[in-house]
A and B are shown apart, each in its own frame.
Chain A
Amino acid sequence: MKRHVFTIIYSVLLAAFTLYIILDTFVISRVYDQDTTQMNTGVFNNEAPDTAEDDSISEPDVYMYEETAATASTVVATAPTVATTATAVATTATADEEIDCYSDGNISVTIEEYTYNDTRVYVADVKLNSAEYLKTAFADDAYGKNIKATTSEMAENNDAILAINGDNYGSQESGYVIRNGIVYRDKAGKNDVLCIYADGSMEIIDPDEISTDELVERGVWQAFSFGPALIEDGSVSVSEGDEVGKAKASNPRTAVGIIDDLHYVFVVSDGRTEESEGLSLYELAEFMESLGVTTAYNLDGGGSSTMVFQGTVINNPTTTGRSVKEREVNDIVYIG
């Protein structure tokens, strides 16, 4: 009898603990930083980190581009324009269609749709006058665990011209998180880290070799911990069998890459549907290489993959493949 009592009590405790772990991992919200709207624009002047609140970026500190005079924010064209009808091939990606574009004196964005390996791929070609326009935001403007909102909600709240889902930092307990020049998590994770510097350059770093403080001193404006790196030094850095993150097959994907100084591409692919199969990491890397990307990094994918341009969801986000619905995520990368 005593044995049965012990077994029952232990089983109940085990079940209760398991339920707690599930809730703790997926449901229970914890806020570690209430206000994440501040930005450390000191990195644009090679200054030491300044965590003082600075909600506004009144005058962009232009780093590399010369054409800084114009500041008008005019939407040049919003109507869909058919550009070409060629389908992408293995080596050179050619856009099926230019969906939309935006341009002002500091920001230029062109959205194009490609068909690549039976997959719809949406590419935002972004040219900036300063990396200061490449920003990030957290759901509910709070840093923490299980704090979520859809990409489009966060885009709207931050007046984003273009937004994609970020690295979903909150699902991990480690991995550098530097956003808008401020360090939120300094615990190194297992994954490579993508650093975007104040001068607009991108670099993939090993978090075991450098601390977050050193990164900010070097002028890191944004750092993401998801990965893997897709392209380094102009070459694909993942192999066909090297599927990091346990996602071994075709799926919706989100990635960011750099072509030239302050010239970026944000890439989101649909997947898990008959219309769009999805890409493996290797296929995604090959596609981005064909765009001329020199450094590219994989962000959170699957049902999280979403691209929003001027308030409209451009792709078809889906978790199950049966219905199109945005999944709530922890953070976004946006232009604005």
Chain B
Amino acid sequence: MILFTSDKRAKPLINSVYFNLGFAIFVALFGAIYEMFSHEVYSYYMIYAFGIPLVLGVLCQVLTPVVFGKFPGSIEAVLWNLSIVTFTAGSLLKGIVDIYGSSNHKLIIYPVAGCILALLSVIVFLAKKANSNY
């Protein structure tokens, strides 16, 4: 991260990583507090929801310039972050519904929307990378 800070092109990525770090902490706290009051009825979707921004938002984004040799731009970073927020919101909601002992088939919308946004982000990133190679 320190190595990136001197590069202006790294700014969207750095902002994105900080956003996801904060988001992961918030989700972890939310999950812990929710589980505390759920009378030991638990849901893995609630407990491990913080892992989504941590893995996809922090780890993947930090590794992106290392693996691909290119910083993601702001458009793909926004799309990627929105997909992370969508996945995480879906996971938390699934946890709430599970803990209540209920179900709702409409929850499938979250992973579908999250996948579409993530795919768009990857396409934009790869398209930009291909253009920059020419």
Contacts and interface: CB of A to CB of B under 8 A. Distances in A.
Given A7-B82, A21-B107, A22-B93, A302 B41 contact: yes
A272 B98 CA distance: 20
B101 A168 contact: yes
B41 A247 contact: yes
A21 B106 contact: yes
B103 interface: yes
A18 B109 CA distance: 10
Interface in A167-194: 168, 171-174
Contact of B39 (A6, A17, A172, A272): A272
Interface in A214-261: 245-251
A171 B103 contact: yes
Given A24-B106, A246-B42, A302-B39, A171 B100 contact: yes
Contact of A14 (B74, B89, B102, B103): B89
Interface string B91-115: 0010011111111111101000000
A247 B41 CA distance: 4
A302 B102 CA distance: 13
Given A14-B89, A302-B41, A6 B78 contact: yes
A65 interface: no
Main secondary structure of the interface of A (DSSP, over half): helix
Nearest to A4: B78
B10 to A, nearest CB: 18
Interface in A1-56: 3, 6-7, 10-11, 14, 17-18, 21-22, 24-26
A3 B78 contact: yes
A251 B40 CA distance: 9
Contacts of A248: 40-42
A331 interface: no
Nearest to B104: A25
Nearest to B86: A14
A246 B74 contact: no
Nearest to B40: A249
A114 B39 CA distance: 23
Contacts of B107: 21
Contacts of A173: 103-105
A21 B104 contact: yes
B42 A251 contact: no
Contact of B82 (A10, A26, A171, A172): A10
B75 interface: yes
Nearest to A189: B103
A26 B43 CA distance: 18
Contacts of B100: 25-26, 171
B52 interface: no
B43 A246 contact: yes
A289 interface: no
B85 interface: yes
Chain B CB within 10 Å — which of A246, A248, A251 has the most? Answer: A246
Contacts of B98: 246
A113 interface: no
Nearest to A13: B113
Contact of A3 (B75, B93, B105): B75
A300 interface: yes
Contacts of B85: 11, 14
Contacts of B78: 3, 6-7
Nearest to A280: B40
A174 to B, nearest CB: 7
Contacts of B82: 7, 10-11
B99 A246 contact: yes
A246 B105 CA distance: 19
Contacts of B75: 3
A146 to B, nearest CB: 10
Nearest to A168: B101
A272 B39 CA distance: 8
Interface of B: 39-43, 74-75, 78, 82, 85-86, 89, 93, 96-107, 109
Given A22-B93, A247-B41, 5 more contacts: A3-B74, A10-B82, A171-B102, A251-B41, A302-B101
11 contacts: A10-B82, A11-B82, A21-B104, A22-B96, A25-B104, A171-B100, A246-B42, A246-B99, A250-B40, A272-B39, A300-B101
